[in-house]
Amino acid sequence: MDFKSTFADWNVGFKERPLVISGPCGAETHEQVLTTAKQLKLQGINLFRAGIWKPRTRPGSFEGMGETALGWLADVKQQTGLPVTVEVATPQHIELALKYNIDVLWIGARTTVNPFQVQELASALKGVNVPVMVKNPVNPDLALWVGAIERIYKAGIKKLAAIHRGFSSYENSTYRNKPNWEIPIELRRQLPGLPLICDPSHICGNTFMLLYISQFALDLQYDGLMLESHFNPSAALSDAKQQLTPEQLEELLSKLIVRNPTTDNALALSKLEDLRDQIDEVDDQIVTLLAERMHIARLIGEYKFNHNIAVLQPERWEEIVRTRTLSGVEKKLTEQFILSLYTLIHKESIYQQTQQMEKEKDAEGESKFSNH
Ligand code: PEP
Ligand code: MN
């Protein structure tokens, strides 16, 4: 999939990074939607969002106002001039959204996980000229995210964007949905022409970390931000804890620093080049050292095979983690980084050792065979 998409073709008044999408988690009442939208209009947002059909984890929660609320969004367009976007999860949602001239559609995280459902949406989008934003699936699976984008693209939708809203996990975390930044970074490497939007609201699940996550996303050169807002967040029927008032949104936006992708200051550029050359050299050494380490691991595999010793000795692993952490922390690396790094190195080491042991076993089997 080789394409370039830009918000400039979306008819959402986009002039500069970041594109700002805001509005309530869910459209609840005519008053809530209109009051919030009018206040947001003053903050200069590009696109007004509101959930019309809400995918809720448990039944009995507020599930959205459906078609009635589409009429409210038509009023938002008419009274503020703001373009509007809603989540669609079924072909019928698409049909209704288009009937009410919704400007942009988005596919939610719980839909992206299901290729059957995404394909149904793709089929319903054939021949339609509407921009579509695809949220990441709830689970940290890049291929599923890319697959959903491909299905929509193949249906002829070329105005596309991805929304990063974080990934759910069973363990407790400071995040509602862990960002796992390496996944959107890899998405960007695989699909460089695809605009990337961050949804800090669903990553954080609260309002106090929103600025930090928004700034982090901008520093990774995201193209847009989707932030939930409500004229009275504490009364919201869904996601009350993570919604900002329009004034709070304005404050957050005013604090963001949009850094440039590069600079035309020749001196700064040459200094950067120089530092990057140094990084390239260090990386080369890292790869050489890792290859050496794995070579030794294979020798150990051979030795363990010949002496019938098990691959994993938990005490040895324990000792590696302890000593490497001590030495790493002394050198200003974090404990978490050392643990993650060595978990990866150790996994590869064990793999290399077992491969070697398999080889030894096969060789032994062959020589026995040839002796008979
Ligand atoms: C939402 O945007 O309100 C929503 C339901 O998001 P997600 O699909 O990311 O959970
Ligand atoms: Mn929400």
Q: Which atom of ligand 1 is nearest to the CA of 199?
A: 9
Q: Whose CA is nearest to atom 4 of ligand 1?
A: 108
Name every protein residue with a CB atom under 6 angstroms from any ligand 1 atom: 25, 51, 55, 108-110, 135, 165, 202
Phi-psi region of 268 (alpha: psi -120 to 50; beta: other; left: phi over 0): alpha
> Measured in angstroms, how far is the CA atom of residue 234 from the centroid of ligand 2?
14
Using an 8 Å Cβ cutoff, are 65 and 97 in contact? no
pLDDT tens sequence across 275-300: 999 999 999 999 999 999 999 999 99
Looking at residue 53, its pLDDT comes to 96
Looking at residue 346, its pLDDT comes to 95
Q: Whose CA is nearest to atom 2 of ligand 1?
A: 25
Percentage of the chain lying above the pLDDT 70 cut? 99
Direct distance between the N- and C-terminal alpha carbons of the chain, in angstroms, rounded to an integer: 57
Q: Which residue has the tokens 């605009």?
A: 195
Q: What is the rounded CA–CA span in Å between residue 46 and residue 161?
A: 15
Looking at residue 372, its pLDDT comes to 55
Q: Which atom of ligand 1 is nearest to the CA of 54?
A: 5
Percentage of the chain lying above the pLDDT 90 cut? 90
Average pLDDT over residues 49-72: 94
Looking at residue 370, its pLDDT comes to 65
pLDDT tens sequence across 117-152: 999 999 999 999 999 999 999 999 999 999 999 999
Confidence category of residue 352, pLDDT binned at 50, 70, 90: very high
